[in-house]
């Protein structure tokens, strides 16, 4: 289809402009003492449940959360009920967050203190991997229930992750999850990202992730 060429050209311009805005935002956040984490993962992988554990365990450090969803504010409400400073962005059909959305959101949402900013992207293993949103690093949350073949099928998002979390390890006894196959797939595209095995339900495994976050933020 001839239109495809126009689409590719327009998308290249958009990636370039987005990248420029993301770098500007990142510089601004750094100057404010905000360490921004782009939290990625499939729908239902447990991103919000993990953030409930992470923000609690980082205390007394300040954490803010921005929730990116196509529609609804279910997760923001869950976090706020637990005492987390959480804000909502709705993309109304958009399959990922981008830098302009983040800049607009941060004009409205106040981050008065230095600390962590977790940005939960739209649940999607494809498009969010392609857009920088001002983050210092990308955290990819996977879960045992999604199966062990994900690094082979969605390599870009695994490649770009600074760390990978394998959530829902409490369900492992009931599944046929092949951990060796998962790790081999991850290492095929990303040699260095640490892998943290956790259960957001029981809290198991989060200590190591928290230690890693603190070292990264410095």
Q: How far is the CB of 59 from a second copy (least distance, A)?
A: 25
SS (H, E, C) 13-26: HHHHHHHHHHHHHH
Indicate the burial class of 180 (C-beta count within 10 angstroms; 0-12, 13-18, 19 or more): exposed
Kindly list the distances between the CA atom of residue 207 and the CA atoms of 3, 166, 197, 210, in Å, as whole numbers in the listed order.
50, 14, 10, 5
| Nearest of 135, 136, 143, 125 to residue 182 by alpha carbon | 143
Interacting residue with a second copy among 57, 61, 95, 137 (CB under 8 A): 95
What is the chain's length? 218
> Least separation, in Å, of the C-beta of 123 and a second copy?
7
Cβ closest to a second copy, residue 58 vs residue 102: 102
Could you tell me the smallest distance in angstroms from the CB atom of residue 215 to a second copy?
30
Cα-only R_g, the chain: 17
Distance of closest approach, residue 53 Cβ to a second copy, in angstroms: 16
- Spatial contact of 20 and 103, defined as CB atoms under 8 Å apart: no
The residue among 42, 54, 124, 128 whose CA lies nearest residue 86 is 54
According to CB under 8 A, which residues from 38 to 77 bind a second copy?
42-44, 69-72, 74
Using DSSP bridges, classify how beta strands 85-90 and 163-167 pair: parallel, antiparallel or unpaired: unpaired
Binding of a second copy at residue 156 (CB under 8 A)?
yes
- Residue 21, interface with a second copy (CB under 8 A)? yes
x/- letters, 109..138, toward a second copy (CB under 8 A): -------------xxxxxx-----------
Q: Can residue 82 be called a binding residue for a second copy (CB under 8 A)?
A: no
11 part of the interface to a second copy, by CB under 8 A? yes
Q: Going by C-beta distance under 8 Å and a sequence separation of 6 or more, which residues neighbour residue 184? A: none
- Closest to a second copy by CB, 155 vs 183, is 155
Residue 204 interacts with a second copy (CB under 8 A): yes or no: no
**Where on the chain is the footprint of a second copy (CB under 8 A)?**
1, 3-4, 6-7, 10-11, 13-14, 17-18, 21, 42-44, 69-72, 74, 93, 95, 100, 122-127, 143, 145-147, 149-150, 152-156, 168, 171, 174-175
């Amino acid at each position: 289809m001839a239109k495809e060429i126009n689409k590719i050209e327009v998308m290249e311009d958009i990636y370039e402009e987005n990248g420029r805005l993301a770098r500007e935002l990142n510089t601004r956040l750094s100057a404010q003492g905000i360490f921004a984490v782009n939290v990625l993962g499939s729908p239902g992988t447990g991103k919000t449940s993990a953030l409930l554990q992470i923000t609690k365990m980082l205390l007394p450090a300040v954490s803010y959360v921005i929730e990116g969803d196509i529609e609804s504010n279910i997760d923001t409400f869950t976090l706020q009920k637990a005492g987390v400073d959480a804000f909502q962005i709705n993309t109304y059909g958009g399959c990922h967050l981008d830098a302009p959305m983040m800049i607009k959101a941060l004009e409205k949402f106040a981050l008065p203190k230095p600390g962590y900013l977790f940005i939960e992207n739209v649940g999607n293993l494809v498009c969010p991997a392609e857009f920088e949103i001002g983050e210092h690093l990308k955290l990819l949350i996977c879960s045992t229930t999604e199966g062990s073949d994900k690094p082979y099928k969605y390599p870009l998002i695994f490649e770009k992750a600074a760390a990978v979390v394998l959530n829902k390890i409490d369900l492992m006894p009931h599944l046929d999850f092949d951990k060796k196959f998962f790790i081999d797939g991850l290492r095929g595209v990303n040699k260095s990202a640490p892998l943290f095995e956790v259960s957001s339900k029981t809290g198991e495994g989060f200590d190591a992730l928290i230690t890693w976050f603190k070292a990264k933020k410095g």
